[in-house]
Structure 1
Amino acid sequence: MSVTASPPVRTGGARVPGAVLRAAAAWSALHLALAALWLLAPSTRPGLEGGDENGGSGLLTVLPPTVTAWLVLVLAAGGLAATAGASLRRPSTGAAAAAFAVAAGLGVLAADLRALVLLGYLTAIVAPAAFLAVFTVGALRSRRARPWLAAVALVVAAGLVSGVLRPGTIGRLAGDLAGPLSRELPSRGALALLLGGAVLLATLGVLVLRAARGACASCGRPGAAWTRPEAAARWGRVATLVAAAGPLPYGLLRMTWLTPWPFGLPDTSDPALRLFGLALGVAALGGAVATIGLIRPWGEVWPSWVPVLRGRPVPVRVPVIAGGLVAVVLLAASPAMIAIGVAGLTSGDLFEAAFLLVFPTLPWGLALAAAVTAYALRRRGACAVCGRR
């Protein structure tokens, strides 16, 4: 009787990956230098406090700029200390606690609605046009997708007839958006870096905990039962469906702008304003469809209408990074969204109270984070460090 040997399990996976250590050290050193510069030369500050239109969108809008600089300085120094502890041959749970503490501090500091607004605007500007271009090129060579080109042509024709997609309208909208986006890019870029630091330090904390308990720091194996692919497929399906429902209220409300009874459209005679609202709605509905891809075959293999990549496996990192980014931004915006909704409930302002239903950022963000995690657990193969499956 022949016996099939199990693949060997390599040891030595208990150290934190060097790439994460280098990234955490670089982020901490950069922000230590930036915070010191902000204190020594106040004119270099990126305006994280925002203006009157951003009041109350996050903690940064109410803190004096000098206090913000000192907080970033302290957190960056803590990040360097946590990274130093994590770089030891056998890092302790103390290094993990330090990394989590810095991540929590950065998360509280950078929890801001402006990150979601920026992501939504950029997605609305880029995603619909990019999708139409990619789909049109790819569908010409895909027999299954080719009939949908008629629907795309019909949508474009309707937009031209209504004036929404006329070149003049698109140009005016681009001009209206270019100024505000360019002015706020430095402050929102700095905010994005703070959010990135929170994610990076939290990741470092998880990896240190794995190494401290003797598991593979790269993959976490051996792990709990819920991390196994078959278990992740079950709870991941529920999380994905909840996450896909998150953008639907906003997207469907924006679609009313296609009708004679638009909801929330302040000027029905302005085609540029209508175009931007529709782009935001299409981006939201597209996000719902893309989320469903986490549990569908086309989320693992590029569909036939995608040029060049059709039929190839979707790299696991692509949906994980994209979905993780959206989840982080949603969770960062949740305190402000909840505050707006609660304030509306207490004051009787139904428009503000509706934010709790139209923008359910907290359950949406948590569900999306879980869905992305399940996708990664389900699709990951053998670990390159320890060899476990």
Structure 2
Amino acid sequence: MTSVREPATGSIAAPPAPSTRLLRALGAVALLASAAILTFGLVWWLVPESNPFATATSESPASALLGPAWFAAAVVATGAVGLVVAIATAAPAALARRAPLIAGAAALCAVAVAFVLGDTGTITLAGYLFGLAAVIAGIVTTAVLVVRAPRLGVPLLVLLAALIGMAVWSAGLTWAGVTTFLASFGAALAAQGMLILISAVSVVAVLSWTAIAIVAGRTTRGLRRFEGWLVRHRRALTVLAALGPLPYAVMRASWLTPWPLFAPARGELDPATLATGLMLGSGAVAASILTLGLILRWGRVFPSWMPRVGGRPVPARLAVVPGLAAATVITISAVPIILLTLDADSLDAMIVFNLVLPMWFWGPMLALAVWAYAAWRRTIDGVDVVAIDDAAGTGTSTAR
């Protein structure tokens, strides 16, 4: 294994011209997403009653400000402009000369999609899915550790058993509550298929436009210097990002105590609601731990206790792509959540809610932390890890 040292200054060497192949691939993804957005808008314009934002409990900033007809027109315009920019991105001629222009246009497209289609339903769906995955992954990880690394696995098993005991005997969690939650969640997924599709398209669009803006924008001195700043401060940025979900995790953890926060009094919390809250809290804890992986050793090398991959380098894209996707989901939900809390009973309630669930802080900070990790890996590996199609950028295994 080759040992590498992190550059002391965190500076980024001047990169070559942007990858035509990569920008074409990203442009193709953005093209498909823009075509889907255009289709949504046309359908909602011609058949207003098919617009899910007109009846949904959550709404995007654009749907909150515009009437149904104007909102549909805004969606059509967003998709149409996206098609034009995507075609320009994929065109072969004079790419290097127009890269800064493409970067600016892509950034504007990302903002436009977030404004038009970003809503609270996106983070709700992602939170439930990630929370459920975190619980399953936590159980599996504990079982593997008990066998392959007992010094770590046995204490973790004891902690897990203690938490389950508190949830069952102290807080009132029941198996019926768990199954009721799972049944309700499955029914909600089936009933909101269109909103889920819209959320998926909006996330893909924002993520692809953001990637285009970064890859094309790296031809400019300003963005390269900004990446150098990110690398120098990547540890601080990552710690701040890891703090984002912790207030929510603490709030959910309080449901295991006699003093539950933002919940019915002890004894009045039904088991299904308790199961939901604890699952979401588990997801928040997992998100914080995974974020710290951007600066810890296991963010570069798989832990030795992991079957098959233990000791091998972590592909940079394995952290960059999911990390930026998560940051996108959180960030595009920030403004809709703030708009939703405007209906709170008091200013104090609005402020408390946005401090317990600080999407406005967590999303952008996570995006910067992942970007810093990507730029750092590109610097020490000599590979453009912003590229989603990178297949060989992890030949080194240790880092300072």
Normalised by the shorter chain, which TM-score bucket? 0.7 to 0.9
Paired residues for 1:256-271 under 5 Å: 256-266=254-264, 268-269=267-268, 270-271=270-271
| Correspondence for 1:140 | 147
CA drift of 1:297 comes to 0.6
Q: What amino acid sits opposite 1:373 in the alignment? A: W
Q: Partners of 2:326 and 2:342 in 1: how far apart?
A: 23
Percent pairwise identity: 28
User: What residue in structure 2 maps to residue 288 of structure 1?
Assistant: 288
Going from structure 1 to structure 2, the CA distance change for 1:332 and 1:32 (only over 3 Å counts) comes to closer
Q: Provide the residue aligned with 1:182 in structure 2.
A: 190
Find the counterpart in structure 1 of residue 117 from structure 2. 110
CA distance in 2, matches of 1:353, 1:134: 37
Q: Equivalent residue for 1:325?
A: 325
Q: Distance in 1 between matches of 2:322 and 2:177?
A: 30
TM-fit CA distance, 1:243? 0.9
Residue 158 of structure 2: aligned partner: 150
Q: Following the alignment from structure 2 to structure 1, what is the Cα–Cα distance between the partners of residues 169 and 362?
A: 36
Tell me, in whole angstroms, the C-alpha distance in 2 between the residues paired with 1:265 and 1:290.
27
Displacement of 1:66: 3.9
Assess, with a 3 A threshold, how the Cα gap between structure 1 residues 383 and 124 changes in structure 2: closer, same or farther: closer
Structure 1 residues 307, 149: closer, same or farther in 2, change over 3 A? Answer: farther
- Deviation, structure 1 residue 73: 2.3
How many Å apart are 1:12 and its aligned residue?
7.1
Letter in 1 for 2:238: T
C-alpha root-mean-square deviation of aligned residues, in Å? 3.3
Q: How many angstroms does 1:136 deviate by?
A: 1.2
Distance 1:286 1:14 in 2: 34
TM-score, with length taken from structure 2: 0.79
How far does residue 251 in structure 1 lie from its aligned partner after superposition?
A: 0.9
Q: Which residue of 2 aligns with 1:72?
A: 75
User: Which residue pairs with 1:334 in the alignment?
Assistant: 334
1:111-139, CA deviations, whole angstroms, 9 ceiling, x for partnerless residues?
A: 32221122112222221122212331343
2:246 aligns with 248
Residue 24 (1) aligns with residue 23 (2): no
Structure 1 residues 11 and 118: CA distance shift in structure 2, 3 A: closer
SS in 2 for 1:203: helix
- 1:361 alignment partner in structure 2: 359
SS at match of 2:192: helix
CA distance in 2, matches of 1:10, 1:47: 44
**Partner letter of residue 382 of structure 1?**
G
Alpha-carbon separation, structure 2, partners of 1:136 and 1:358: 32
Cα separation, 1, equivalents of 2:93 and 2:332: 34
Structure 1 residue 57 displacement after superposition:
5.7
Aligned to 2:138, which of 110, 119, 131? 131
- Asked if the contact 1:139/1:146 (under 8 Å) is kept, the reply is yes
User: Is contact 1:59-1:112 (8 Å) kept?
Assistant: no
* Residue of structure 2 in register with 1:170 after alignment: 178
Secondary structure at 1:140 match in 2: helix
AA aligned to 2:54 is E
1:115–1:188 Cα contact (<8 Å) kept: yes
Question: What residue is the counterpart of 1:6 in the other structure?
Answer: none
Q: Which sections of structure 1, spanning at least 5 residues, go unmatched?
A: 1-8
- Relative to structure 1, the CA distance from residue 319 to residue 96 in structure 2 (aligned partners, 3 Å threshold; closer, same or farther) is closer
2:45–2:72 Cα contact (<8 Å) kept: yes
Contact 2:177 2:273 in 1 (8 A): no
Does 79-88 or 56-65 show the bigger shift?
56-65
Cα offset, 1:234, TM superposition: 3.1
Give the letter for the 1:315 counterpart.
Answer: P
Contact 2:178 / 2:271 at 8 angstroms: preserved in 1?
Answer: no
Contact 1:250 1:284 in 2 (8 A): yes
Following the alignment from structure 2 to structure 1, what is the Cα–Cα distance between the partners of residues 82 and 104?
Answer: 11
- Structure 2: 5+ residue stretches without partners: 1-13, 394-400
Give the whole-Å Cα distance in 1 for the aligned partners of 2:88 and 2:170.
62
